[in-house]
Amino acid sequence: MKILVLNSGSSSIKFKLFEDQVAIASGLVEKIGNNQSKIELKNAKTGTKLRRDTYIADHEKGLKLINELFQESGILHDLNDIDGCGHRIVHGGKNLTEHCLVDDFVLAEIDRVSAIAPLHNPAHLAGIKTMIKAAPKVPNVTVFDTAFHKTLPDYAYMYALPYDYYAEYNIRKYGFHGTSHSYVSAKAAEILGKNHNEFNAISAHLGNGASVCAIENGKSIDTSMGFTPLEGLMMGTRCGDIDPATMPFIAKARNLNPDELDAVMNKQSGLYGVCGFNDFRDIIDEIQNGNDLARLALDMYCYRLAKYIGSYFAILPHTDALIFTAGIGENASIVRKLTCERLKHLGFEIDTEKNDNANGETLISTPNSKVKIFIIPTDEELQIAKITENIISKK
Ligand code: ADP
């Protein structure tokens, strides 16, 4: 089966084409609507790349170019020849809790939820509509970041705000990165020869956005992101948990409106806000150059991460594994080391040599560690392709 996976952002489209669950091509359309827009396609078999620097006005033009580069590279005769298209959707809201085939209801719901996911859902919708237009016979499947967290109990997803806000606006914790948390936890269970339905884990997805998830019997029971992807851990440019009262204070002190406050919390905070760098590679370099704010950012990051892992260890009846994944989780050995060292008394014992030399999927705990500690590279696109294949096979 040939499955195309699309991750449509406001000015980009990430795409990956799978044949029988093996990636055969991938690429990126960037800076849509900007004079510097471009598209690049990489053939996974040959490693050859095709690139075009051209004005790409909108998502429709972007998808047209993806099709043209597929044809030019000989990878695909036409978009209509694929068996299905899987779309990554950040927010499914309260009604879209299962990955599903796209229909009018699904389109209307994604649109409705745009009010609480304005940076993501409108772009996802544009991607789906463009695909329907370009290849009308190809079934489209939506895969929601929020779906894995549908099992959160009410006492975990409710905020202690007036109940009306939940009743009227559905303000509650939704959680994100579900595709990744479910993929890496299933993989860890498989490595340990355990059934995912009987497996308890804490997974830490640490990319530009970052979240931790508590998984009991293969199901999400709590997660650090909330109503939006802002809550929880300190991230690249997002503040994560803060005292909510700081925001009205800052609004008054700096005369900022709600949109400006939103930008402070989402774009000017986190690692970047503390030390001026949001890429961990730069932060590690800066620490070596003696930059004390970079040291502070690293210490804050690991301390807060350890607190979340510790709290999830407390609510799980037992923990089989801790999993690190995504750009920082997979590559920044110092983050794994500093975080696990704080958790040693709970039975998380990291093998520093294995941790320093890890490459790809690796068990990095000592044989005596009560909790197995893994690095498991995430593959959200593969997971979306598998889910898409599964759903269209049942059609
Ligand atoms: P996202 O998909 O959320 O954009 P990624 O999962 O690709 O993010 O993670 C991106 C982050 O991973 C970068 O900001 C960088 O800080 C970190 N990262 C990537 N490679 C390394 C590395 N070799 N060492 C340390 N950090 C890394």
Domain harbouring 206, CATH code: 3.30.420.40
Q: Please tell me what DSSP assigns to residue 273.
A: H
Which one-letter amino acid corresponds to residue 322? L
**Same domain, yes or no, for 201 and 125?**
no
**Same domain, yes or no, for 103 and 198?**
no
Q: Nearest Cα to 26, choosing from 11, 40, 39, 42?
A: 42
- Measured CA distances, 343 to 101, 210, 338, 346, 371 (Å): 42, 19, 9, 5, 10
Last residue of a domain, one of 124, 144, 164: 144
pLDDT of 298 > 90? The answer is yes
pLDDT band at 279 (very low <50, low <70, confident <90, very high): very high
pLDDT of 118 > 90? The answer is no
pLDDT band at 112 (very low <50, low <70, confident <90, very high): very high
pLDDT of 171 > 90? The answer is yes
- Measured CA distances, 375 to 184, 222, 329 (Å): 9, 21, 7
Q: What is the pLDDT of residue 115?
A: 87
Taking the CA of residue 335 as reference, the ligand 1 atom at the shortest distance is 25
**Same domain, yes or no, for 108 and 227?**
no
Tell me the percentage of the chain whose pLDDT exceeds 90. Answer: 95
pLDDT of 9 > 90? The answer is no
**Same domain, yes or no, for 98 and 213?**
no
**Same domain, yes or no, for 200 and 111?**
no
120 marked ligand binding residue:
no
- Best probe residue, ligand 1, of 7, 280, 375 (max atoms within 8 Å of C-beta): 280
Residue 72 within a domain: yes
207 marked ligand binding residue:
yes
**Same domain, yes or no, for 83 and 211?**
no
**Same domain, yes or no, for 264 and 351?**
yes
pLDDT band at 395 (very low <50, low <70, confident <90, very high): confident
What tens digit of pLDDT does each residue of 21-60 get?
999 999 999 999 988 999 999 999 999 999 999 999 999 9
**Same domain, yes or no, for 225 and 358?**
yes
Domain region containing 21? 2-144
Instruction: Name the 3-class secondary structure at 9.
Output: coil
Task: Count Cα neighbours of 312 within 13 Å in the Cβ-side half-sphere.
Answer: 28
Residue 182 within a domain: no
pLDDT of 117 > 90? The answer is no
**Active-site residue, 145 included:** yes
Q: What is the pLDDT of residue 343?
A: 98
Residue 173 within a domain: no
Q: Nearest Cα to 207, choosing from 186, 231, 187, 237?
A: 237
What tens digit of pLDDT does each residue of 235-268 get?
999 999 999 999 999 999 999 999 999 999 999 9
**Same domain, yes or no, for 369 and 285?**
yes
**Same domain, yes or no, for 251 and 309?**
yes
Catalytic residue among 58, 83, 103, 145: 145
What tens digit of pLDDT does each residue of 186-200 get?
999 999 999 999 999
Count of domains in the chain? 2
Beta pairing class for 84-89 and 49-53: unpaired
Decide: 279 in ligand 1 pocket, CB within 6 A: yes
Average pLDDT, the chain: 96
pLDDT band at 163 (very low <50, low <70, confident <90, very high): very high
